Amino acid sequence: MVEALLLVLGAALALLIHEGAHALVALANGQDVTAFRPYPHRYAGRLYVGRCWVWPYDPDDIGFHVAPAVASFVLAAGWLAVGLWPLAIGLAVDHIWWWLGWFRIRFTSDGKRSDGWKVRQALR
């Protein structure tokens, strides 16, 4: 039962950490965070798992798009190291999802809007 609650908490934390990593990089770059919604919602007819919009937005900003992958990897490894595997799963899923975007293997879209794909394009 405790593990189930930690899984739910881990999923919520993963969304907060993913969008928070975007927001921290944007703020460090002097950009404005115009939308910060680390939870599933609809906006302009689209379903978002989470959303962090910044202004001015640069689609080639590697730091902005790679930050969630770094944060999810480091924190998942840290939680695994201290035995909190139910918390680590949400971040591990987010990390794997980032890489599925890199390879454009998404089940819900063509993957061109994913962080992983945008980093791959910026590195070309």
Q: Which is nearer to Zn ion, 69 or 87 (CB)?
A: 69
Pick 62 or 84: Cβ nearer Zn ion = 62
In the complex, what is the shortest distance from the CB of residue 8 to Zn ion, in angstroms, rounded to a whole number? 21
Cβ of residue 35: shortest distance to Zn ion, in angstroms? 12
Min separation Cβ 67 and Zn ion, Å: 8
In the complex with Zn ion, which residue's Cβ is closer, 6 or 97? 97
Q: Is the peptide bond before 38 cis (omega within 30 degrees of 0)?
A: no
CB of 118 to Zn ion, least distance (A): 9
Q: Please give the structure tokens belonging to residue 105.
A: 């293997």
User: Phi/psi at 114 (nearest 5 deg)?
Assistant: -80, 155
Which residues form the interface with Zn ion (CB under 5 A)?
Answer: 115
Residue nearest Zn ion (C-beta atom) = 115
Reduce the DSSP state of residue 19 to 3 states and report it. Answer: helix
Contacts of 110 (CB under 8 A, 6+ apart): 104
Q: Which of 11, 12, 38 is nearest to 23 (CA)?
A: 38
Nearer to Zn ion, 61 or 115 (CB): 115
